[in-house]
Amino acid sequence: MATVEYKGIGKSFGSVRVMKDISLLIRDRGFVVLLGPSGCGKTTLLRMTAGLETVSEGDLLIGGRRVNGLHPRDRDIAMVFQNYALYPTMKVYDNIAFSLQVAKLPPEEIRKKVHWAAETLNLTPFLDRYPKALSGGQRQRVAMGRAMVREAQVFLFDEPLSNLDAKLRAHMRMEIRQLHNRLGTTTVYVTHDQIEAMTMADTIVLMQGGRIEQIGTPDEVYDRPANRYVADFIGSPGMNFLEGVVESQNGAPVCRAGEAVIPLPHDTAARPGQKVVCGLRPGEVRLDPNGPIVAKAIIAEPTGPEVQLYAEVAGQRFVALVPKGNTFREGDPLRLSIDPERVHLFDAESGARV
């Protein structure tokens, strides 16, 4: 049982308070991704979990035990660093074996564990090499092997894939997730890449400016973003935002933004006259000759399976993903439509979901 619990965690560097009141419970065997832009505090939170940064306020519990003042080695954690942090003067074998060697385990047991880790990670042919003779992906796997043999209850990952190329990254995403399932550990994973977060997490914690913006499953965060910030951060290409006013049209609620009329869910909580921001995901907008959203084409970018269409709606930039084969010229008038249930509505002032 290794839950990780943050109770009112805060962090100050000198007199600068960079984080406050972070409360979060990570269940046993959970895969939690801390997601956010640079400087949002996600790495600081992870390093506090590891014991590499002190906790300024609040309580940090691992497996129900308060670990605030505990040395990293006594926290039952393993960590994979962004730059791998391999020991440059040790061969791969010793890199993986180091934690076992310093714990003075019997050599035979160490050998078994290292070979098990190396086999799992396809590192066996490289055990005699030094880190500098390995590729980025191999180094990454050595770092994971080092974490694996520790048999820790909690795995901490600090942007482990950010130095890999796109193809390898996709592959390692799957491997890390598989490993997590196989080892049955609790994982806290830090990234700024929303695709990593969406594909790997069972819970996403979206952070900004030292605060948590939303906690939820990838689907929840994608389908019901708590506020405009979350909606903007999740999804690629990003969500379109149109400022408008809620009206009633033939008894149905709509949002009017200039010439464009965006249908709203019939049970929306928005009141007529309320100033709102409508959020429309590019992939959920359709080309529709009778659609209520009036637009003007700007440029179309083929991406392979579909075309990314840049347009102008009510004087604001708008992106739609449309089927391939469509061609557009600049200035072409367009009409778009969207399922009212798929429109996200945010208060124009607070940015909170309506």
Partner 1 sequence: MSGAPAVAGRQDEGAFARPARGRAVSDHPLPWLLPLVLILLAFTVYPLFYNIYLSFHEYAPFKRALVWVGTENWTRLFADGRLWDSLGVTLVYFVVALAIEVALGMAIALLLDADEPGFGFLRGVLTLTLVIPPAITGMMFLLMEDPQFGILSYVLKLFGLLDSTTPILATPSLALAGVVLADVWQWTPFMVLIFLAGLRALPVEPYEAAMIDGASPLQTFTRLTLPMMGKVIAVAVLIRGIDLFRVFDYVYVMTSGGPGTATYSLSLYAWQQTFSFVKWGYGATISLFSLVIVLVVANLFIYLAKVRW
- Enter the DSSP assignment of 90: S
| CA 81 vs CA 72, 85, 143, 191: distances in Å | 14, 6, 8, 12
Give the list of residues 6+ apart from residue 245 with CB closer than 8 angstroms, or none: 255, 256, 273, 274, 275, 276
Residue with smaller CB distance to partner 1, 100 or 255: 100
The rounded radius of gyration (Å) of the Cα atoms in the chain is: 24
| One of 11, 139, 141, 150 touching partner 1 (CB under 8 A) | 150
Cα separation, 19 vs 15, whole angstroms: 12
Indicate whether 146 belongs to the interface with partner 1 (CB under 8 A): yes
Region binding partner 1 by CB under 8 A among candidate stretches 74-82, 166-174, 322-330, 340-348:
74-82
Region binding partner 1 by CB under 8 A among candidate stretches 19-27, 56-64, 97-105, 264-272:
97-105
Region binding partner 1 by CB under 8 A among candidate stretches 7-15, 77-85, 206-214, 241-249:
77-85
Region binding partner 1 by CB under 8 A among candidate stretches 36-44, 96-104, 270-278, 340-348:
96-104
Residue with smaller CB distance to partner 1, 86 or 320: 86
| One of 4, 40, 46, 50 touching partner 1 (CB under 8 A) | 50
269: left (phi over 0), alpha (psi -120 to 50) or beta: alpha
Residue with smaller CB distance to partner 1, 147 or 264: 147
Q: How many CB atoms lie within 10 A of CB 210?
A: 20
Residue with smaller CB distance to partner 1, 86 or 297: 86
Count of residues engaged in binding partner 1, rule: CB under 8 A: 24
Q: SS3 of 41, please?
A: coil
Evaluated on CA atoms 293, 295, 297, 301, the torsion sign reads negative
Cα separation, 162 vs 142, whole angstroms: 16
| One of 1, 16, 102, 166 touching partner 1 (CB under 8 A) | 102
Indicate whether 144 belongs to the interface with partner 1 (CB under 8 A): no
Q: Which residues bind partner 1 (CB under 8 A)?
A: 50-52, 71-73, 77-79, 81, 83-90, 98-99, 102-103, 146, 150
